């Protein structure tokens, strides 16, 4: 549906974040006839839209491009009636009360009895000298975004998990050589892609190593590595570095409202609920052992179903309170707390 900058003030459900968790929540909520608003600082898709290809999403026997899968999620949510506001900034918020309020771009206020926060996580930084200086000038966290700029170049990938190995394989389409830097003696990714990477003619691995500095004049020219077994430092020329070492939770909206684990990820109930009635958290922002597109979609589904039950419970409670006295002057029994 066409996007309007003049939004209604009142909604049944507001979803913050248009990644797989947020869009799955929007699909289920809108299909259940909840007036659903989705807010995102960018365009829909979250991290999926920057993923070169997705090979393990059910229903796609062939690989699907991340941006195409993200676009399909968004179109489906809009088809069921959800409104998606793109490129919006939440400048004020109050999610603690029975009515949750958010101010958008310092201009509009929207509110709802229920909110699903699905803001995900942002890439972790290494915190070594030269990283801020060369970010965007040789250092990247998005292979899909920047891989083509390194056509015919020799590059390094920092990390050894699924993202690092998957994106290393993707980068071989452009780079003449990809060197993976792993702090362990093995790659901690799915066996199938590890096997592919270790046998790829353009991929090499430096084991037991971590970056200690990035060097260069104007643009990135080298990475200094420490051998974690001996402490020895070595200089490695490079045309670019891609960093894939995990993510930090984007929990600013719920900071101080909800319990978090030692890394700052939000602890929720099995129904994605938090101690704040009507406030749910779904997707990569949650504390959980696995973070995949499928687990995010599952979170969003559960959050939407729980939010629907909560909102409908509020409506039933309000209707019973407002109903006229029954026979004999007895007032209809009121409901307790919404389920």
273-291 burial, b at 16+ Cβ within 10 Å, e below that, comes to bbebebbbbbbbbbbbeeb
Cβ contacts of 212 within 8 Å, gap of 6 or more: 128, 129, 224, 225, 226, 233
Q: Note the pTM of the prediction, 2 decimals.
A: 0.77
> What Å distances lie between residue 258 and 16, 142, 245, 279, CA to CA?
16, 30, 26, 9
Contact 300, 20 (CB under 8 A): yes
94 is catalytic: no
127-143: pLDDT as tens digits: 999 999 999 889 998 88
Euclidean distance between CA atoms 272 and 255, whole angstroms: 16
> Is pLDDT at 320 greater than 90 in this prediction?
no
Residue 208 corresponds to which tokens in the numbers above?
A: 């037991």
Given pLDDT bands bounded at 50, 70 and 90, which one contains residue 336? Answer: very low
18-59: pLDDT as tens digits: 999 999 999 999 999 999 999 999 989 888 887 777 888 999
Euclidean distance between CA atoms 296 and 280, whole angstroms: 13
Give me the sign of the Cα torsion angle 285, 287, 289, 295.
negative
> Is pLDDT at 192 greater than 80 in this prediction?
yes
- pLDDT-wise least confident of 146-150, 187-191, 317-321: 317-321
Q: Catalytic one among 145, 185, 261, 271?
A: 145
Q: Catalytic one among 40, 146, 239, 299?
A: 146
288-311: pLDDT as tens digits: 988 889 999 999 999 999 999 999
Residue whose C-alpha is closest to residue 163's, from 179, 187, 184: 187
146 is catalytic: yes
């Amino acid at each position: 549906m066409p996007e309007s900058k003049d939004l209604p003030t009142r909604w049944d459900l507001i979803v913050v974040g248009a990644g797989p968790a947020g869009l799955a929540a929007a699909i289920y909520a809108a299909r259940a006839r909840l007036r659903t608003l989705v807010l995102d600082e960018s365009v829909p898709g979250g991290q999926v839209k920057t993923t070169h290809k997705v090979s393990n999403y059910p229903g796609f026997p062939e690989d699907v491009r991340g941006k195409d899968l993200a676009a399909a999620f968004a179109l489906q949510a809009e088809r069921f009636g959800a409104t998606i506001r793109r490129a919006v900034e939440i400048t004020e918020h109050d999610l603690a009360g029975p009515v949750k309020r958010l101010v958008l771009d310092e201009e509009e206020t929207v509110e709802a009895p229920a909110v699903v926060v699905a803001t995900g996580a942002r890439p972790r930084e290494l915190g070594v000298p030269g990283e801020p200086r060369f970010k965007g000038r040789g250092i990247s966290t998005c292979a899909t975004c920047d891989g083509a700029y390194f056509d015919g170049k020799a590059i390094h990938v920092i990390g050894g998990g699924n993202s690092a190995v998957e994106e290393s394989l993707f980068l071989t389409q452009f780079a003449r050589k990809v060197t993976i830097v792993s702090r362990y003696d093995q790659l901690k990714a799915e066996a199938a892609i590890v096997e592919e990477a270790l046998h790829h003619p353009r991929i090499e691995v430096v084991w037991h190593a971590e970056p200690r500095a990035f060097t260069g004049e104007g643009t990135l020219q080298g990475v200094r590595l420490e051998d974690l077994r001996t402490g020895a430092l070595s200089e490695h020329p490079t045309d670019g570095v891609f960093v894939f070492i995990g993510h930090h939770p984007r929990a600013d909206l719920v900071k101080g409202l909800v319990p978090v684990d030692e890394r700052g990820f939000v602890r929720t109930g099995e129904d994605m609920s938090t101690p704040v009635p009507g406030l749910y958290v779904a997707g990569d922002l949650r504390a959980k052992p696995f973070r995949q597109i499928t687990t995010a979609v599952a979170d969003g589904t559960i959050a939407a179903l729980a939010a629907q039950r909560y909102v409908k419970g509020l409506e039933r409670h309000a209707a019973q309170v407002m109903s006229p006295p029954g026979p004999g002057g007895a007032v209809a029994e009121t409901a307790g707390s919404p389920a």
